[in-house]
A and B are shown apart, each in its own frame.
Chain A
Amino acid sequence: MESVGYYILGVIVTIIVAFMVGMTYMGLSRKITARVQNRKGPPFYQNFIDAFKLASKETAIHHGFMHHAGPAFLMVASIMSVLIIPVLNDGKWFPNLNFDGDLIFLLYIMVFGPLGMALGAGQTGNPNSAIGVTRGLSQMVGFEIPWVMALVALMMQYQTTSLVDLMAVQQTTGWLMFSSPFAFLAAVLAMLGMFRYSPFDIVGAPTELASGPVSENGGKYLFTMMSSGSIFAFAKLTLYVDLFMGGADNLIELLIKTFTIYLIPMLYGMVSPRYRTEQAIRYFWGWPLFFGFLALVHAMVF
């Protein structure tokens, strides 16, 4: 069963599923946004068309090796995090690399991509890209803190750093979002920044930074980034489901849960304008940090 072929098959299938789901969610978000704004909106498969169009662009330019390799870095991060995060409970799905789904390893592998892509954006020499990157990194410093606090609260409560163990815990004690609500709150507020929807879309602010880091990328590069973004979105959603909503037993349940989680940043983003960078950081170091502390206290007390 654990042959290399099976392993590779698992990897490929997981990636494809993640890609599909992520793309569909993004299309759906566009659709829903349109409906909220009382438009008809594009079809939900619009993103597939865009991706295919980008992939089928005939020409592309790059400013050097790092710019060329940046999307590949991004892809590595997304796919690695998909492979680390257990998709379904007790390994029903292919347990690819998620030996124990170690959370700290996950935290670090998840910042691998943005940094690689930041390098790529850096070599373009476009000032907008660099500005966007600095904004993105600053924002990351902002939201990582409450996010880590939430994780630490969970870990210290259940004395494990393994995602699999946390999922196993939820089999018995119900969902963690109820048993440790503050951690959930902090994590969700951090997720707003993680998904970079408005009001936290300061990285690729289209109207002031010309889409920031990706402003020099067209064609296949943009396609790679888009698809990796969708895979990454799926990974993050699955992580949240695994952490707080007791994982899922089959794909349908997984889709439902992930989509409910996905609605939060999306709906929050529809009704809010964009922050400035320091406002965003201060936002994350306001209530989310407070909830994080509450979560720590809660975990220490109980």
Chain B
Amino acid sequence: METILTIFIIFIAGATGTYFLGKLSGILRSVIFITTLLVTSWLFFTAVSPDVIIEFEIMGILMSWGLTPLAYVFAIIVFGLAIIIGIYAIKAMEGQRSLNFFFANFLLSVMAMFGILISNDLISFFIFWEIMSWSSYFMVVLNHKDVQRSGITYIIFCVIGAYAMMMAIMIIYSYSGSVMIGDFISNFHAFSLGMKWLLPILLLIGFASKAALMPLHVWAPGAYSNSPMSYTALFSGALSKMGVYGMVIVMIMIVQQIPDGYWIKEVIAWLGGITSAIGTLWAIKQDDAKRMLAYSSVAQLGYIIVGVAIGTPLAMMSGLFLAVMHGIFKSTLFMVVGAIERQTGTSNFTEVTGLIRKMPWTFLAALMSIIALAGIPPLGGFIGKWMLYESLMGSNHYLLIIVIFFSSTAAFLYCYKFLFGFFLGQEEKEWSHVKEAPAMMVVPMIIMAILTFVLGVFPGLILKPINDGMQFLGYVSTDNRFWEMSTIFNDWGNQVVMEPIVYTIFAIFLFFLIFLTLKGYKNTRYVTTKDISSSGEIPREDENLTFITGFMQPFFRAVAPVMKRQIDKYYTSFGKGLEALFDFTRRIYTGNGQTYALYFVIFVILLLMFRDSLF
């Protein structure tokens, strides 16, 4: 029995077991759920090897499953996140609605992602892609919030992408007679020029819709913020990376072969840059943490896509590394929001403040992942950002650097807003009852935080599989040319050695911390946040002094012209127009028998008039 099939069977059995046995008892459900995840990941990390290939036939179409080194990188993200988020979800979801469905669906989407990664042919790729789409869709609408709007928006963009992809797949199938990705890549030069342009664009539309690239990103905020946080962590962390995975393949293996195809790359790269800028700006504006993180995911995926689209070895490496890092820190942040929402009942900055002393561990996780998100050394996010800038430098995309840099500098604003809004600021009496989240939720977050740090010091840990994947894509080995275990080089051989930097940073930090702490320790006292120098006025305990409303007002006064236009407004009006049009056209069916008889006569006359041109 092949390991891959075993994994699938375990997944399906686990999903059904979770659903049906879950009706008996919650403990049983959790046990089955976790066991499924653990066993599958254990099987994957131990037993699955890239050279195994399974082949079978459906409707006369040959399908083949096998794991490529590139897919291995993404599979690491999927399974790693799935385990940690799964452990988190058990505690985080308790007391919420329709848990059996949630956990079964969770397993289904993990299975779908794994299927996407292992499928070597487009048909099964598409099948798993669609399974992923609807399972994630059911998650989006799971808590009955804003169903008809964000849910329908999400499914519309899902099917737009999926149908574009399906059209391309069918064209490929009927033209080259094979749906193997490998055959497609090798036979690509045989297509006509029009096809050479049409197919990659269709495929890219499909993938970009999942990766939330700029014109197709409007579903992201609603979908991310409406699904349960314990799923959004996976959604934004792993599921959006499937789009990136597809884009990597198309970008590197297909677009290379198009004459003048590099224009596609330029366009996609610029779209990614603009996506990151716009996403960042809108993220700063949000007052709800979920929506902010959703927009921030859009922005981060923009970076990843830029890296992937530029496609020089360093850029590709930075894109993939950023994909891994984004998986880690963004899911941590979503988990943090989930924990806060569970403990306080809201995820709105304007309501909850000053949790740092109530939930210190959560704050630690949030702090680490925010630093990683902002790309500040020595945490992992910095490595990816550095490589991205260096690669843009090396490939002469100078204006793009400015855009990227603008968005990543503006990212500090929402990073700070996140930390300040939840944890810092006045400690209001309203939230004095809040307790730290249970250990089963805190520990996964802390593990992730530690991961960001470890990958920041030793990027080589994850750059190794990325390197293998890139060799599969046809790059020469980047080992010791762009990275060693703890050192990263740019195109011109300039290097950054992480280890001494990290040690120095910690030495200095500890030194001054100790200096501050020891110096007059007895005479240093803690005072509550009500005891502030407010020009002699003594604020009452129930008086809310927190400054969070209109947080970045001056900044928005400065960038107002950019924020005036909003893409999803256009989409909404377009949709409304269509509905109105159809509401008009459907009146063809007047419900009046005479009209129908009239149609009959008219039809007869028409056919008789055009009888010669009919056949």
Q: Which residues of A contact B (CB under 8 A)?
A: 11, 55, 58-66, 68-69, 71-73, 75-76, 79-80, 83, 97, 99-100, 102, 104-105, 108-109, 111-112, 115, 118-119, 122-127, 130-131, 133-135, 137-138, 140-142, 144-145, 148-149, 152, 155-156, 159-162, 165, 210, 215-216, 219-221, 224, 276-278, 281-282, 285, 292, 296, 300
Contact = CB atoms under 8 A, between A and B. Distances in A.
B377 A105 contact: yes
Contacts of A135: 554
Contacts of B490: 102, 161
**Interface core residue of A11, A97, A141 (most chain B CB under 10 Å):** A141
Contacts of B524: 59-62, 220
Contact of A282 (B396, B405, B495, B558): B558
B508 A118 contact: no
Contacts of A104: 386, 389-390
A210 to B, nearest CB: 7
A83 B501 CA distance: 10
B402 A149 contact: yes
Given A68-B513, A125-B532, A141-B413, 19 more contacts: A62-B525, A65-B360, A68-B517, A69-B513, A75-B512, A102-B494, A112-B376, A119-B420, A124-B532, A125-B425, A125-B530, A134-B552, A149-B402, A152-B401, A155-B393, A161-B490, A162-B492, A276-B554, A281-B554
Given A97-B501, A277-B555, A152 B426 contact: no
B377 A63 contact: no
Contacts of A210: 533, 535
Given A63-B529, A161-B494, A112 B546 contact: no
Interface string B477-520: 00000000000001010111100110011001100110111011
B412 interface: yes
Sorted nearest first, the 3 A-B pairs with minimum C-beta distance are A125-B529, A277-B554, A122-B424
B375 interface: yes
A140 B495 CA distance: 27
A127 B545 contact: yes
A227 to B, nearest CB: 10
10 contacts: A71-B516, A72-B508, A105-B377, A108-B385, A108-B386, A142-B558, A162-B492, A224-B512, A277-B554, A277-B558
Interface string B356-391: 110010000001000100111100001001100110
A102 B495 CA distance: 8
A300 B527 CA distance: 57
Contacts of B143: none
A71 B512 CA distance: 8
Contacts of B393: 152, 155-156, 161
A278 B377 contact: no
Contact of B513 (A72, A123, A216): A72
Contacts of A64: 356-357, 526, 529
Contacts, number: 231
B557 interface: yes
Contacts of B496: 99-100, 102, 105
A109 B390 contact: no
Given A108-B375, A277-B554, A68 B497 contact: no
A80 B508 contact: yes
B523 interface: yes
A75 B396 CA distance: 35
Given A100-B494, A134-B551, A216-B532, A66 B386 contact: no
Contact of A215 (B426, B501, B533, B546): B533
A137 B371 CA distance: 15
Contacts of B390: 104, 161
A187 to B, nearest CB: 14
A141 B555 contact: yes
A296 B557 CA distance: 28
A141 B552 CA distance: 12
Contacts of A100: 494-496
Contacts of B354: 125
A62 B529 CA distance: 9
A15 to B, nearest CB: 9
A145 B551 CA distance: 22
B427 A125 contact: yes
A50 to B, nearest CB: 17
**Interface core residue of B398, B524, B532 (most chain A CB under 10 Å):** B532
Contacts of A144: 405-406, 409
B497 A115 contact: no
Contacts of A140: 409, 412
Contacts of B382: 108
Interface in B393-414: 393, 396, 398-399, 401-402, 405-406, 409-410, 412-413
A145 B501 CA distance: 26
A122 B416 contact: yes
Contacts of B535: 210
Contacts of B513: 68-69, 72
A115 B376 contact: yes
B189 to A, nearest CB: 34
B425 A97 contact: no
B486 to A, nearest CB: 13
B533 A161 contact: no
Nearest to B557: A278
Nearest to B388: A104
Contacts of B525: 59, 61-62
Contacts of B386: 102, 104-105, 108
A72 B375 contact: no
A18 to B, nearest CB: 13
Contacts of B375: 108
A100 B497 CA distance: 10
A118 B416 contact: yes
B495 A59 contact: no
Contacts of A59: 520, 523-525
Given A124-B529, A125-B427, A125-B545, A76 B557 contact: no
